[in-house]
Each structure stands twice: as C-alpha cells, then as structure tokens.
Amino acid sequence: MSTGRCSICKEIKTVNRDRKTGSLVCRACYTRKRYHNSSFHKRCTRCGETRAVGKRDGEDKPICKVCCEKERKHNTSLHEKCFFCGNIKPVETRIESGPICCVCYNTQRRRYGIKTNRNKKHQDVAIMA
C-alpha cells in the first residue's frame, strides 16, 4: 500500500501494484475491474450461476448480486417504513428525510429529480460501459 497515480483513473490515491501487469491501481478501480473480470466470479450458493459476488453468507459462501437483491426484497426484517407512502417496503434508496421504497423512488425521482448515491453509482457504471 502506497500513494501514487492510478493507471486506470489517473488520480493520486492509495494504490496497490497489480501483480500481473506491474501497474498501480487504486482500490476503486481494482474493485470495478474485479467486478467485470469473470475470473473473479464465483458460483453462487443460492442460484448456482457463476457471477460477480454480491456478498458472503454466514459461512463465507459467495452469493451473487441477483440473489442479494432478491433476498433484500423478500427479507421483511430489512424492510422499513417509506418516507413518502408510509408502507413497510424494501428500501430502494435513502434521502436525508428517510428511506424511500422503489415505487416512490421512481415517481419522486421524476417529480423532484432526487439525486441519490445510488443514482451516482449507476452513472459510474454507465461511464465504464
């Protein structure tokens, strides 16, 4: 770990040297690269598909992004009261006032142009693609 110029985003950051290429890569770019690199993909313990790992379960077995998302939607203990409609639903995003469900997220976003971190993430992906 040292500070240097990332060979991918060209910013001065905490970087690691890529063992294969010998170039310096920051943590954000490394994670992104890993996400798109199928050699880092693991077989999901839930659906059996080989995909980018979303998280690990209690036994450190990989679970893909798709199953993570499903779990989040179905696991009612993760649901919260939506700031707009007041229904107990999966949280799509958060604003300063509170959590927002996916239905309200879509309508409010159009109406008020809510800018969220989630939105930003999507933009990053779009730029990468």
Instruction: Give the residue with the Cβ less far from Zn ion, 106 or 117.
Output: 106
Residue 9 is a binding residue for Zn ion (CB under 5 A): yes
Residue 44 is a binding residue for Zn ion (CB under 5 A): yes
Q: Which residues of 80-111 are buried (b: 16+ CB within 10 A; e: fewer)?
A: eebbbeeeebbbbbebeeebbbeebbeebbee
For residue 110, give the nearest of 99, 119, 98 by alpha carbon.
119
Residues in the chain: 129
Instruction: Give the residue with the Cβ less far from Zn ion, 9 or 128.
Output: 9
Residue 91 is a binding residue for Zn ion (CB under 5 A): no
Residue 6 is a binding residue for Zn ion (CB under 5 A): yes
Site residues (vs Zn ion, CB under 5 A): 6, 8-9, 26, 29, 44, 46-47, 64, 67, 82, 84-85, 101, 104
